[in-house]
A and B are shown apart, each in its own frame.
Chain A
Amino acid sequence: MKHKTFFWFFLPTASAMLLFIALPIFSIVIQSLFTPHDAVIIVTENCDPFGCKQETTIDQEATRDLRKSEPLGKFVGLEIYKDRGHLAVNEVKEIWIESNNFTEFKKNIGNLPFYRAMAFTLTFTFTVTPLMLVFGFIIALAVNSLHHNLKGLTIFFSLLPMIVSPLIGSLVLFWMIDSRGIIGEALQYVFEDPDLSLKASTGLTWVMLIVYGVWHAAPFSFVVFYAGLQTLPMDTIESAKIDGASRLQQVWYVVIPHLMPLITFVALMQLMDNFRVFEPIVGFSAEAHAQSLSWFIFNDLGGETRLLSSAATSSVLTIIGVSILLFPVLIRTWRDFNEKSAK
């Protein structure tokens, strides 16, 4: 395709992304390098319905000129990246020196918010992604073999976990898994443990979040793979059959290679989404046991005093994290691409 034709085809989508994603990313990177100017704190007398007392307040007048001349704030470079709420460089160094063995080091590192969040996020990402791929693939194969009339209904019901999840997740599911809810009691019965509570222990909360993650994401891979199965080349299957390939072999040697680009695509999107896991943590009130970078951002932006630079830094760290995570897939895409352009 000529450059010029390409340009016009690509212009609308590019301008939308530049305006609403690239520009904000740029400003967020800038934001992460600056903090508000030092506040001048004064003691004043404040009164409320319950009486008057001496309290500290910020003297707005004192920094007004400074804020006007340098509206971005104070340049701090990578300070925020290195502080305790993020990479905690100094704290990690200290822990490294003070810890006697690796277990102790690991335990102390787990006390720092960023690393604690990473432990959960990576576990979540690397269990949910493969599980949902496999699960979605099996559902797609199964639905594809159904009678024509059943397909519509099955597809609809299979999509339900995706359609109703965000609110159902926080409301109905949360109640269902309560130790007195229907799922909670069923589990107590199955495991013969009347005190079993999914919400009270860290391990069980993680399991619960992972199961939910797979449940919620399986329809996505199902639909993509199902659509992909419709373009399966019949002649290849036929010839494989003539060669005496078993059903499993047909799936392994014909279907999966055919779906490979779609599998890569779903894996890419899922790795990314799972790394940014957020909604289930809030929906299931799991903050006590599981956190993620996205949750930190939410927390920084939702507090009474909003930490904008900190949220910006966490966002940039998310992008970096995703890039590292996707690197192998990207290398693969790069190779595919080179093959494509070599053709």
Chain B
Amino acid sequence: MRLELVKRPEMSRKMMLLSPVIAVGLTVITAGIVFALQGKDPLQGIYLFFLDPLSSLWGLEQLAIKATPLVLIALGLSFCYLSNNWNIGAEGQLTMGAIAGSILPVLAPEFDHWVVFPMVLLMAAAGGAAYATIPAALKVRFGTSEILTSLMLVYCATLFLDWLVRGPWRSPTGYNFPITVDFNSAAVLNSYDIGGVYLNFSTLAAVIAVLAFTVLLRMTLKGFEIRVIGQSPRAGAFAGFSARRMTLFTFALSGALAGLAGMMVVMAEIQKLQPSISPGYGFTAIIVAFLGRLNPLGILVAGIVIAISYLGGEAIQTTMQISSKVATVLQGMLLFYVLACDTLILYRIRLVGGRSSRETARA
């Protein structure tokens, strides 16, 4: 028995919608098996992991808080991946963005004026974009693999933040903890009560970004350019589109969004800098981007699904004493399932029994 792929004449629209659903379904089944292997009730585990986070207002609020940065970062990454630019360093861009955005509230804590708020966001976006431009420029100028350089810079950014909060930026009043001073009120994201759920501005920003990216990708020449360069670089050059400029553009854009997302997490949740400011949002966003089929609306849904897995991980840990690391494993599995199911869009899969062509015979 073996699998054989039969190419479809055209992409299957049905499968484009169905493949992420199948992938999520397979993940649910896998989760059940994992829970059962740990000697727990799989159905209770599945309920707690996937549905419990949706059952309370508090859960929905946490969901929005987790999904917001994931969606913002994944949107930027989707433009990179669509145009064949492999930015996997969003975590570093998030960190550098947050550092750049914190310059004002950390170094000028007395400057408490409304103008600080937009300045902080702007500087965060600029910092993330600038940091993302490094691997992009190296790719454009020297042909260096952006995959490896963007990832290496993640480690550098994390270490740089570590040095800052333990060294020059350490709060004099922080009892020697590696933290900066608390941000003043102008550099803080406040939450507002929306039907019992407390949300801040960043969630609104993410929704607006989803809509803007949808329009950009589907309706404008720029979006067309991104899709053409990604699918067929040679045809892109024939259309007069510059792949190099596109590399710089998509990296800068995704870096800016990652920086912005990181800053807003800091402004809303911890309101100061510390050695660790993100639970790996920059890496998880890669899963979100693919689960959302690199489509802005899909990414919105995918961001929510992945946020559920974060909360679900906490829920099973507190209720069933299952390690929350199960969530990370399931996220990795989910990405595999998504990539595997995407095969269905271009191919029909056939099971072939017995002796077949030499592909098996000669191995």
Q: Do A and B belong to a common assembly?
A: no
